[in-house]
Amino acid sequence: MDFANVIRTIPDYPKRGIMFRDITTLLGNPRAFRRAIDEMVQPYAGVRVDKVAGLEARGFILGGAVAHQLSTGFVPIRKKGKLPHTVIGEDYALEYGQDRVEIHVDAIQPGDNVLLVDDLIATGGTALAGIRLMERAGAKVVGCSFVIDLPELGGADKLRAAGQKVHTLVAFEGH
């Protein structure tokens, strides 16, 4: 399947010069959604995965489906202040300022093998923060799976340079 044909591109969103890659069209297409999940899972067949961690927010949709396919648990990695129980967090740099991702303290057990999932890898900042957070919780990140790679922004290369296996389904040039 050519995933590029089922992902809508919205020019100049959220600001001029950005080509927003909208996966809601993929999610709404049953065959494309099923195929995307199957292809995100395939590299991890036979690999021990104890939890799938999904980055807020589209990573929740994809990560939940991937966790289901792998018959494992799901961990939501949320933005600061969204989780109701005791949390651990990881700060990361934005273009202007900082942000933070968090998980519940009991979401990961030391020694868990975790697969990180999101819809898109751009600069890699949020994904790297998620990886550091999983590792601080005692997990081993066994891979990172994304629908979209924006190679010009270098995020997938940063993850690979950090020793991570990165799997993507489609690459788009530009931002």
Q: How far apart are CA 95 and CA 38, in angstroms?
A: 34
Query: Does 174 have pLDDT greater than 80?
Result: no
pLDDT 10s digits, 54-95: 999 999 999 999 999 999 999 999 999 999 999 999 999 987
Q: How far apart are CA 21 and CA 37, in angstroms?
A: 18
- Has this prediction a pTM greater than 0.85? yes
For the record, the structure tokens of 33 come out as 């959604």
Q: What is the percent of the chain with per-residue pLDDT over 90, rounded to a whole number?
A: 95
Place of tokens 């036979």: 46
Domain ranges of the chain: 47-171
Return the pLDDT at 118: 98
Query: Does 175 have pLDDT greater than 70?
Result: no
Return the pLDDT at 63: 98
* Cβ atoms of residues 19 and 7 within 8 Å: no
Q: Which helix (H) or strand (E) holds 27?
A: helix 24-27
State the catalytic residues.
58, 95
3-state secondary structure of 120: strand
- Phi-psi region for residue 12, left (φ > 0), alpha (ψ -120 to 50) or beta? left
Q: Tell which CATH classification among 3.40.50.300, 3.40.50.1360, 3.30.460.20, 3.40.50.2020 matches the domain 47-171.
A: 3.40.50.2020
pLDDT 10s digits, 108-149: 999 999 999 999 999 999 999 999 999 999 999 999 999 999
Instruction: Name 166's Cβ contacts closer than 8 Å, sequence gap at least 6.
Output: 121, 143, 144, 146, 149, 156, 159, 160
Average model confidence (pLDDT) across the chain = 96
